Amino acid sequence: MQKVPTDMDQLSQVLKLMGDKTRLTISALLMKRELCVCELLEVFDVSQPSISQHLRKLKDAGLVKETRKGQWIYYSLNKESESYPLIENVLSFTPDVADKIAQIDKSNPTQRCGC
Amino acid sequence: MQKVPTDMDQLSQVLKLMGDKTRLTISALLMKRELCVCELLEVFDVSQPSISQHLRKLKDAGLVKETRKGQWIYYSLNKESESYPLIENVLSFTPDVADKIAQIDKSNPTQRCGC
DNA sequence: TGTATATATAAGTGAATAGTTATATATTTA
DNA sequence: TAAATATATAACTATTCACTTATATATACA
């Protein structure tokens, strides 16, 4: 886990983004696998626009990428980001989110085929 | 650098505290040595109450301790805090603050004896 | 004991923020 | 091409937040 010194402004900006419980949890989930908005929606008690707005902030900071796959837009952590080492490090302190991933898999909002 | 999994609320609260540039820099300075308010005041463009209020938030979260030494109250990072491993880790990403420490030493607001 | 210094607290203000509902845009499918 | 689904954006609101000035409290020292 490499440590790239960043300037104080950029570092505090990233930490502020991670300082929101919803965004922190979204990031922890994206560390497991890419997810679309409707999947994230299964594990948070907020509206769809709220999720979209959080993802937009993470994207604007270069922390996540998006790829459209037909109807869905999948979000993932941007490993090319200068801040990725920090993100990875911070996320190592988060509690396990396997239960939330399981919840998404169970509700399966995108009708993902299991085979 | 030990990783203690924390609950998501506590973790996001600490990250939010570190997500402010002034508090992040204060914390980086306290990693070097304990400092009083009047010393911190030398390296920030904010009022004395502003510094005190930031320190209060860090103290309320258990991240810093204070010790009165006569006229001055010295603040230091609380190594006994459950969040200290995280703090230490996050601060390893901050740029060097040796210049700011030098600036404090030079202005020497507490008339500290150099011998 | 009175004055200076260090720090904290109170009160107020403007900006930022996270959420909401309503609506627009894009894609898929009947 | 029309309806359904997924997502984004716009507009608004309530709350949080960092800062300020004014003032209180605590210690040191003449």
B110 in reach of chain A (CB within 8 A) = no
| Cβ–Cβ below 8 Å for A12 and B24 | yes
Kindly state the tokens that stand for A74.
Answer: 């999948």
Residue with tokens 């880790």: B89
A31-63 pLDDT per residue, tens: 999 999 999 999 999 999 999 999 999 999 999
Name the DSSP class of B42: G
- Distance, in Å, from the CA atom of A59 to the CA atom of A76, rounded to the nearest integer, reads 10
Q: What is the pTM of this model?
A: 0.93
Residue with tokens 């938030």: B57
Report the nucleotide nearest the CA of residue A53, measured to C1'.
D8
- Phi/psi of residue B8, each to 5°? -60, -35
What torsion, rounded to 10 degrees, do the Cα atoms A101, A107, A111, A114 define? Answer: 60
- Phi/psi of residue A92, each to 5°? -65, -15
A3 in reach of chain B (CB within 8 A) = yes
B96 in reach of chain A (CB within 8 A) = yes
**If you count residue pairs, one on A and one on B, with CB atoms under 8 Å apart, how many are there?**
87
| Cβ–Cβ below 8 Å for B86 and A95 | no
CB < 8 Å to B8, chain A: 21, 24-25, 28, 94-95
Mapped onto helix, strand or coil, the DSSP state of residue A70 is coil
- Phi/psi of residue A97, each to 5°? -110, 20
**pLDDT the model gives residue B115:** 44
**pLDDT the model gives residue B77:** 98
Report CA-CA distances (Å) from A66 to A49, A55, A72, A90, B63: 16, 9, 10, 22, 36
What does each of the 115 residues of chain A score in pLDDT, given as a tens digit? 555 556 999 999 999 999 999 999 999 999 999 999 999 999 999 999 999 999 999 999 999 999 999 999 999 999 999 999 999 999 999 999 999 999 999 998 887 665 4
Per-residue pLDDT at B113 exceeds 90 = no
CB < 8 Å to A19, chain B: 12-13, 15-19
- Distance, in Å, from the CA atom of B108 to the CA atom of B38, rounded to the nearest integer, reads 9
| Cβ–Cβ below 8 Å for A18 and B12 | yes
Q: What is the DSSP pairing of strand A35-36 with strand A72-77?
A: antiparallel
Measure in Å the smallest separation between the Cα of B6 and chain A Cα atoms.
Answer: 6
Kindly state the tokens that stand for B92.
Answer: 């390893």
